[in-house]
Amino acid sequence: MTRSFLIETRDEGNVRILALRGFLDAHTAPRFEAAVEEELRAGRSRLVVDCTGLDYISSAGLGVFMTFIDEARGAGGDIKLASIQPKVYQIFDVLGFPALFDIQPAVEDAVARFERGAGEG
């Protein structure tokens, strides 16, 4: 009926951007999970999730971040979030995610955080 969730990927330097659009719930989360897993299996652990077009997230979507965050950090990378709409941010906030994940106002900020961290080994 409707394509309620889309993922577009692109590179900025050696950082992989996953831009999400639509509704991330228990129905669509498996697609996001597969996309993140594919990046990590391909050796890309420096990920920025661009949430500009994300209209909704439930715990199934949040669970994907939780599932892969240790693996990404263990491989020397991270899963950073950027450009979250206020209405979606309140859901991250309810769960205390801002203390656990690196959330940046814009994609460029998140990419810059990787570049700054890269020099420190």
Partner 1 sequence: MASFERTFCLQVPSSTENLALIREFVSTAGEQAGFGEDETLRLALAVDEACTNVIEHAYQNEETHEVTVRVTVDEDAIAFEVIDRGRGFDPTQEPALPVEELIRRRRGGGLGLRLIRTIMDDVQYRIVPGQMNELRMVKKRRRAGEVKPESGESR
As given in the structure block, the two tokens for residue 109 are: 């900020």
Distance CA 33, CA 112 (A): 25
63 binds partner 1 (CB under 8 A): yes
Provide the strand spans (E) within the chain: 5-12, 15-24, 46-57, 78-82, 103-104
Which residue in the set 9, 35, 37, 60 belongs to the binding site for partner 1 (CB under 8 A)? Answer: 60
Task: Report the DSSP beta bridge partners of residue 54.
Answer: 22
66 binds partner 1 (CB under 8 A): yes
What are the CA-CA distances from residue 1 to residues 4, 5, 21 (Å)? 9, 12, 16
3 binds partner 1 (CB under 8 A): no
109 binds partner 1 (CB under 8 A): no
106 binds partner 1 (CB under 8 A): no
Q: Does residue 73 contact residue 67 with C-beta atoms inside 8 Å?
A: no
Q: For partner 1, which is the closer residue by CB, 63 or 117?
A: 63
41 binds partner 1 (CB under 8 A): no
Task: Report the DSSP beta bridge partners of residue 48.
Answer: 17, 80
35 binds partner 1 (CB under 8 A): no
Interface with partner 1 by CB under 8 A: which residues? 4, 23, 25-27, 56, 58-60, 62-64, 66-67, 69-70, 87, 90-91, 94-97, 100
